[in-house]
Structure 1
Amino acid sequence: MIDPATFAAGLPKAELHLHIEGSLEPELMFALAKRNGVAIPFASVEEVRAAYEFSNLQDFLDIYYRGADVLRTERDFTDLATAYFNRAAADTVRHAEIFFDPQTHTDRGVPMAAVIEGLLAAMAQAEAAHGLTSRLILCFLRHLDEEAAFATLTAAGPWLDRIAAVGLDSSEVGNPPEKFARVFARAGDMGLRRVAHAGEEGPPAYVAQALDTLRIDRLDHGNRAMEDPLLVARLARSGMALTVCPLSNLKLCVVDRIDAHPIRAMLRAGLRATINSDDPAYFGGYVNDNFRAIAPQLTRDDLIALARNSFLGSFLDDAAVADHLAGLDAYAAAHA
């Protein structure tokens, strides 16, 4: 009989919570630093990995932004995303919806075109090489102001037909969703879907704000919603997808230990939870590593539900979702 971790690893799945800058492995960081003549404060790959010890979200973000400084050209962004897609394909990811943070780069003088065109090139290559489809989600940095978010949305104008959604990430505490109400309303009027990080370190009230004020289509993280039974019931009743990231939660001390992660409770409460890797280079694992980490506390049906939820929670059209669900059912039947 196939063990749960191996079964989970082979499941066809979508990844809905992946920061492409967070897939920058130390080896690629060093290669890009050399190629672009960028000085980095690490002497070796081992020294970088040793620095990946965080006690909270802000500690992580400090090193995350430092690492992103090596990304300078369109080729850099293509190489970055190609490395991720190759890993994702090996993890039987069939579709990925990836976050990118343009403000992290444009504020350093990197043209918006270099960022987006580089990512689009990698996306096309991944579909041709692996049959792996993907969508872009433009994220606003919440520690900056709404005016900067509006400027970013305007600058992305030429590519909006190739961007599926806007998102909200970076430092959550002290930067509530309501701070970005107007720019999210504008994005919605432009036909973009809306997602937001809420309830990772921020309180349940931030989740409610994301729902009511930003009018999100999908909730990123959402762990702390579990503290509010009425909010849990609302999320379950609406079928709102949650993009949950177990290893990230462990690394950033959102949970004390992996067997205390609320993923099982989320499924039992009827939430449309999914499993994702967040910033895999920094948090110690890609999507299958996350599945392996939580597999011991879940049933086979739970694992299938998580994969099913990933397609149902995606921004794919109904026909594509139906095709992926049929593939998932075929895999499950073949490994009964």
Structure 2
Amino acid sequence: MQAFVTGLPKVELHLHIEGSLEPELMFELAKRNQVAIPFSSPDEVRAAYQFTNLQSFLDIYYQGANVLLTERDFFDLTWAYIERCAADNVRHCEIFFDPQTHTDRGVDFATVINGISAALTKAEHELAITSQIIMCFLRHLDETAAFATLEMALPFKDKIIGVGLDSSEQGNPPEKFARVFAHAKALGFLTVAHAGEEGPAQNIVDAIDMLQVSRVDHGVSCVQDPALVASLAASRMPLTVCPLSNTKLKVFEHMADHNIIELLRQGVCVTINSDDPAYFGGYMTANFMAVAQALTVSNTELAQLSLNAIEASFISRERKLELSQEVLSYLQQA
């Protein structure tokens, strides 16, 4: 199973680039930029990664982001993630970034997007790993701040395919950002949103209806509403599920309790992703393996998770066909 999962061509659709900041790189950047951090070693950072819920993770996540200051920092961060993609046979990725996390600290929007974009361009040229960039609004901030961030993004529209919504779900429902999402869509951006992680199934319904999203990030609480599950299956609305994240943040107590394979067998377009892998203990292969070891799943079903991600991706029809054929050929040879 390990060999099959490692070699399986993969597509990642739910990755926060700031959440791929490994403790070693955090310390390297802190030293480079002379930024004080409240830890004395990478091991001490890892020891702090014991979360009880989403907010306890976010508190330390934003602390870690303070070391990211220059275009080179964002390039190095993204390139380190790309090297993980290459090791895990991730053939395409669609990454989130949180500009407000940086612009609110005085870092220019251009610094962030140009550093990320340069690394992704190098990845395509040197490793044949394709990518897209999605800009997320922080939902614990207000609508006015989201509109301001959208305006900042307009000069870089050629680098950003869509907008998303992340951070604290509880107390920040989708309707809070309905107007900014409508404006983003009018400007030509695709839309996605976190919903149904810690929040109820109704947040998934509202993200689809009010924000007109192309896919739902997380979405595992859909099982609270059987009619919603049936609707998701019928419409092929993708869910970008993050198994290790879900157990680390206690959405599920144990991986054996996870509903991703149950949803897969009901025809829902579920996908596997790593979310914030430096904090949650694993990149794509680790997430696939965690599911494969805890739940009874066949090679065909594991391959279907990759095929679902290809279907749900924001890439050309030709690239989708190319990647799908890679997965099917790999499955046939396994």
List, as ranges, runs of 4+ consecutive aligned residues in structure 1 with deviation greater than 4 Å: none
CA contact 2:300–2:331 (8 Å) conserved in 1: no
1: CA distance between counterparts of 2:230 and 2:99?
A: 35
Amino acid at match of 1:306: L
The CA deviation at 1:5 is: 3.0
Partner of 1:328: 327
295, 300, 304: which one aligns with 2:292? 295
Partner of 1:133: 130
The CA deviation at 1:128 is: 1.6
Q: For residues 40-79 of structure 1, what are the structure 2 equivalents within 5 Å?
A: 40-79=37-76
1: CA distance between counterparts of 2:79 and 2:126?
A: 10
The CA deviation at 1:112 is: 0.4
Partner of 2:179: 182
2: CA distance between counterparts of 1:211 and 1:169?
A: 15
Deviations 1:145-200 (CA, angstroms, capped at 9, x unpaired): 01100000001111112211100000000000110000000111111110000000
CA contact 1:5–1:291 (8 Å) conserved in 2: no
Say whether 1:310 aligns with 2:309: yes
Amino acid at match of 1:31: E
CA contact 2:299–2:331 (8 Å) conserved in 1: no
Say whether 1:113 aligns with 2:110: yes
2: CA distance between counterparts of 1:317 and 1:233?
A: 28
The CA deviation at 1:9 is: 1.8
Partner of 1:8: 5
The CA deviation at 1:227 is: 1.0
Amino acid at match of 1:325: S
Partner of 2:156: 159
2: CA distance between counterparts of 1:282 and 1:67?
A: 10
TM-score by length of 1: 0.98
Q: Secondary structure at the match of 1:315?
A: coil
Q: For residues 34-45 of structure 1, what are the structure 2 equivalents within 5 Å?
A: 34-45=31-42
**Structure 1: which 5+ runs fail to align?**
none
TM-score by length of 2: 0.98
2: CA distance between counterparts of 1:247 and 1:238?
A: 26
2: CA distance between counterparts of 1:321 and 1:70?
A: 36
2: CA distance between counterparts of 1:182 and 1:6?
A: 47
Amino acid at match of 1:20: I
Amino-acid identity (%): 59
Partner of 2:192: 195
Amino acid at match of 1:319: E
Q: Secondary structure at the match of 1:175?
A: coil
CA contact 2:196–2:203 (8 Å) conserved in 1: yes
Say whether 1:94 aligns with 2:91: yes
Partner of 2:80: 83
Partner of 2:27: 30
Say whether 1:212 aligns with 2:209: yes
2: CA distance between counterparts of 1:133 and 1:304?
A: 19
CA contact 1:221–1:243 (8 Å) conserved in 2: yes
CA contact 1:204–1:225 (8 Å) conserved in 2: yes
CA contact 1:223–1:262 (8 Å) conserved in 2: yes
Say whether 1:268 aligns with 2:265: yes
**Structure 2: which 5+ runs fail to align?**
none
1: CA distance between counterparts of 2:22 and 2:245?
A: 16
Q: Secondary structure at the match of 2:79?
A: helix
Amino acid at match of 2:51: F
Amino acid at match of 2:107: V
Deviations 1:280-317 (CA, angstroms, capped at 9, x unpaired): 00000001000000013211111010010110010001
Range that drifts further, 274-283 or 261-270: 261-270
1: CA distance between counterparts of 2:121 and 2:324?
A: 23
Deviations 1:58-100 (CA, angstroms, capped at 9, x unpaired): 0000000000000000000000000000001110000000000
Amino acid at match of 2:203: Y
2: CA distance between counterparts of 1:326 and 1:47?
A: 44
The CA deviation at 1:6 is: 2.1
CA contact 1:178–1:209 (8 Å) conserved in 2: yes
2: CA distance between counterparts of 1:230 and 1:68?
A: 40
Deviations 1:223-244 (CA, angstroms, capped at 9, x unpaired): 1011100110111111111100
Partner of 1:252: 249
Partner of 1:230: 227
